[in-house]
Amino acid sequence: SLASAPDTALVMLDIRPGLEAAAAAPAAIRREDYRAPDWLVPEVALSFELDPARTIVKARLSVTRNGEHDRPLRLDGEELELLGVRVDGAAVEPRFEDGRLVVDLAGPAAVVETEVAILPDKNSQLMGLYASGGILCTQCEAEGFRRITFFPDRPDVLSRYTVRLSADQHAFPILLANGNPVDSGIGPGGSHWALWEDPFPKPCYLFAIVAGDLACNQDSFRTASGRTVDLGIWVREADLPKTQLAMQALKDAFAWDERVYGREYDLDRFNIVAVSDFNFGAMENKGLNIFNTRYVLADPETATDADIDAVAAVVAHEYFHNWSGNRVTCRDWFQLSLKEGLTVFRDQGFSEDMGSEAVQRIDQVRTLRAAQFPEDAGPLAHPIRPDSYMEIANFYTATVYNKGAEVIRMMRTILGPERYRKGTDLYFERHDGQAVTCEDFVRAMEDASGVDLGQFRRWYSQAGTPKVHARLEQKDGKAALHLRQDVPPTPGQEAKKPMVIPLRVALIGADSGRELGPERTVLLTSAEQVEPFAEVGEPAFLSINRGFSAPVVIEAERRPGEIEALAASDPDSFARYEAGQELMARDLLAAIRGADLRTDAVVAAVGATLRSNQLDPAFKADAIALPAESQLIEKLNRADPGRVHDVREAMRRAIGQGLSDDLSRAHMAAGGADPASLSGEAKGQRRLRGATLALLGAGDPKVGEALASRQYAGARTMTERQSALMTLAMLGGDKAEEALGDFYARFEDDALVIDKWFAVQASVPGEATLEKVEALMRHPAFTMTNPNRLRALAGNFASTPSAFHRADGAGYDWLAETIVAADKLNPQTAARFVAPLGRWRRIEEGRAAKMRAALERILREPGLSKDVFELASKSLG
């Protein structure tokens, strides 16, 4: 029988007048509607007859009634061809309600068996079981397991899995699943089989299997308690040499989690598999992580230092999930930040310990400002623990992940490191094997520390980036810090209550340049607050939110010369970086708003940074970079992106021209970095080399072109090569074409590097980029089915403001068409491109109207996915 379950319940609603009522608004799911599952599934046995064209999945669920009720068992299923259902061995006639398979059961327990067929080759959504470059693999988080078999697809149903895989031996010599291999053998007709068992009960979103012709980088790790864990990184044979960095990161992550969180690994093996078609970064399936190749494969010739750092961070992130996510999981998807915020915070701690803490923190804050602040200030703003969603895939956001990590960081700042660690110990011990909530995490922190986090919980429920206004008042040798907080309204949350905002503060002597007294952490808890500072003998400058102790926007009243002084000498390097950014933003924003562009203060500050003997090169590279155009746009009311670009370019030119000697010297010196070294020093040198080259090019295109061509030709690392290529591409002309041609020919067979080739060209500022992007879309190497390739082109284009925000609106139209086309193949990935169109409130009226029109165009498309519908309709709001 064929009973394809229709998509989940679609409720017909008239969404908005003026739009052709083509779209049906999917119902919102609400956090407050949570109910415990009616049936539990302690045991699952699955059997796969794997075939890319048509795979047969047999499932045997041992189910038990959960509590006193007489409701039937309801199983989620999507795009499954149902072949049969049995209850306690007897065939039953399938019945569907609201897209779910309903099974009536009489007693307290039963064995329910289903048999379905699925079509991996036709699975372009990359959710469930799909084929990628000849490999069969799965992705189940959040709701992909229902595309494999009928199941209560929710994270609070935990089961022990036994999985039998059978497949053609020649095409799929390697068969992997979660847990431990227990048996294997040869089957009929050239097939073979393997049996795997995972002893740890897990939610179905952590289920995974892989089948393919894979080679393994094998290693091992000895745990603190003396067990040996076999580590395997599985890739295509040709990619084996590029797995060494990921393997080192994996071993470092195992050791770090033992040392810093007291967490040991729990199975005898840990496998990572790399696949080239993947909707996001990677996935923490129990004992069988599946990764986007981009976060596994790396060597200095084909990956930049930033790529290499990202590999280590993602390898660590997924490994850390084994405790924060797998051993203790989420009760429901509203609690996503429980595991993601915590795990991002953990991977940030790892990166800080492996590299330079200050530079890591600057990068983290950059990411937060580029991705999360705009989200929090726009139509898609939501708390780190959302209250409702239409499609959960849309809530894997910078807010849930990165702001979520900032919230954990603030708890550690408030509690101090020891009590924080007591809190995590208690959390893991108390909730091991459970599916829990953000509230459970906060309560563990409170119980372990004795600190009341009542008001602090507002970080979980209120969206929006708080603004903190600060004014330092000085009188009679005393100082008082006047603070005011203001949490802006966000969709569905008009009025906000005051947050708990931990601010690391120091006063710096205006004359001595020294810290006046020890740094302190001020807890801002009311709307307005005054903090007294005693006995300040000299005029003081205010160094506030040091280390970015709270994810807020600081608006400080500054004295003349104050920012300049802090940018030159704040002893806290993060605060020093911030002061430099504040200085740059001050002069850029003034000019964008119509004043004459003042460049002297910025040029002086950048010059001092370049000439400093004390600052390390990575810090210098960060400190000489101007705030991004997108960040300036966020600070303006109805910005003209063309003007923002022009003013910022004028500042870059002034730096390039005013400091050509300092820049050339730094550029030359940085060229001495050992290409084989991945030390912080060598990476910092290369970063500084790229940053100085870009400014030299801005100052004098001829000089920039000559230097970049030379740097490109002599490049021994991708870091050097890519920065040279980007500078050439920005300058345009023959040299750029020549280098792009060389780059393509040199790396034609390396998909991850060809992604860079697309990305560089899509990131060139200016209105001409769209034509280039349109041409690239017709390039034989372009394909919409590979998310990395699509992101390289569309993602980079949409995040290059002067290219995307063409005055004629053609950039918006192109993006809308691309979203509509991609949606037909892969809704999750398509939906990722909607947000840039939703930033229309920040843009001048002419363009804003065109952005809205592009969103409306998307919403008129028949058969739009829930994913794109939710984001496009909310973006208009």
Which is the catalytic residue, given 78, 141, 318, 406?
318
For the bound state, the minimum distance from the C-beta of residue 362 to Zn ion, rounded and expressed in Å, comes to: 22
For the bound state, the minimum distance from the C-beta of residue 249 to ligand ARG, rounded and expressed in Å, comes to: 15
Residue of 340, 391, 622, 640 interacting with ligand ARG (CB under 6 A): 340
For the bound state, the minimum distance from the C-beta of residue 528 to Zn ion, rounded and expressed in Å, comes to: 38
- CA-CA distance, 431 to 785, in Å (whole number)? 40
| Candidate ranges 3-11, 28-36, 278-286, 844-852; the one touching ligand ARG (CB under 6 A) | 278-286
- CA-CA distance, 51 to 136, in Å (whole number)? 9
Q: Is 284 in the site for ligand ARG (CB under 6 A)?
A: yes
Q: Residue with structure tokens 């006639």?
A: 93
Q: Is 823 in the site for ligand ARG (CB under 6 A)?
A: no
423, 440 Cβ separation under 8 angstroms: no
Residues 6+ apart with CB under 8 A from 877: 379, 491
For the bound state, the minimum distance from the C-beta of residue 229 to Zn ion, rounded and expressed in Å, comes to: 21
Q: Residue 409 or 842: which CB sits closer to ligand ARG?
A: 409
| Candidate ranges 39-47, 281-289, 372-380, 603-611; the one touching ligand ARG (CB under 6 A) | 281-289
Find which of Zn ion, ligand ARG, none residue 283 binds, CB within 5 to 8 Å per kind.
ligand ARG
- The first and second tokens of residue 541, run together, are 């400058």
401, 384 Cβ separation under 8 angstroms: no
Element spanning 863, H or E: none
272, 233 Cβ separation under 8 angstroms: yes
Residue of 200, 254, 334, 396 interacting with ligand ARG (CB under 6 A): 396
What does DSSP say about strands 209-212 and 174-177: parallel, antiparallel, or unpaired? antiparallel
Neighbouring C-beta atoms of residue 189, cutoff 10 Å: 6
Residue list 299-328, contact with ligand ARG (CB under 6 A): 317-318
Size of the site for ligand ARG (CB under 6 A): 11
Residue list 141-170, contact with ligand ARG (CB under 6 A): 141-142
| Candidate ranges 183-191, 341-349, 471-479, 817-825; the one touching Zn ion (CB under 5 A) | 341-349
| Candidate ranges 56-64, 339-347, 370-378, 789-797; the one touching Zn ion (CB under 5 A) | 339-347
DSSP state of 143: T
Find which of Zn ion, ligand ARG, none residue 282 binds, CB within 5 to 8 Å per kind.
ligand ARG
Q: Residue 142 or 506: which CB sits closer to ligand ARG?
A: 142
Q: What is the DSSP track for 169-220?
A: TTT--EEEESSEEEEEEE-STTEEEEEEEEEEEEEGGG--EEEE--EEEEEE
Q: Residue 45 or 208: which CB sits closer to ligand ARG?
A: 208
139, 318 Cβ separation under 8 angstroms: no
Please name which of 99, 204, 102, 100 lies closest in space to residue 156, comparing C-alpha atoms: 204
Q: What is the 3-state secondary structure (H, E, C) of 351-386?
A: HHHHCCHHHHHHHHHHHHHHHHHHHHCCCCCCCCCC
Find which of Zn ion, ligand ARG, none residue 294 binds, CB within 5 to 8 Å per kind.
none
- CA-CA distance, 526 to 548, in Å (whole number)? 20
What does DSSP say about strands 269-275 and 288-292: parallel, antiparallel, or unpaired? parallel
Residues 6+ apart with CB under 8 A from 605: 564, 567, 568, 580, 583
For the purposes of burial, counting CB atoms within 10 Å of the CB of 526, is it exposed (0-12), middle (13-18) or buried (19 or more)? exposed
Instruction: Render the burial of 154-169: b for 16+ CB within 10 Å, e for the rest.
Output: bbbbbbbbbbbbbbbe
Find which of ligand ARG, Zn ion, none residue 145 binds, CB within 5 to 8 Å per kind.
none
Residue of 34, 96, 261, 280 interacting with ligand ARG (CB under 6 A): 280
Find which of Zn ion, ligand ARG, none residue 214 binds, CB within 5 to 8 Å per kind.
none
Size of the site for Zn ion (CB under 5 A): 2
Find which of ligand ARG, Zn ion, none residue 393 binds, CB within 5 to 8 Å per kind.
ligand ARG
Q: Is 393 in the site for ligand ARG (CB under 6 A)?
A: yes
For the bound state, the minimum distance from the C-beta of residue 293 to ligand ARG, rounded and expressed in Å, comes to: 16
- CA-CA distance, 820 to 330, in Å (whole number)? 33
Q: Is 282 in the site for ligand ARG (CB under 6 A)?
A: yes
For the bound state, the minimum distance from the C-beta of residue 393 to ligand ARG, rounded and expressed in Å, comes to: 4
Find which of ligand ARG, Zn ion, none residue 45 binds, CB within 5 to 8 Å per kind.
none
To the query of whether residue 318 is one of the catalytic residues in this protein, the response is: yes
Task: Name the residue number minimizing CB distance to ligand ARG.
Answer: 396
Q: Interface with Zn ion by CB under 5 A: which residues? A: 340, 343
Q: Hey, which residues are catalytic here?
A: 318
Please give the residue ranges that form the binding site for ligand ARG (CB under 6 A): 141-142, 280, 282-284, 317-318, 340, 393, 396
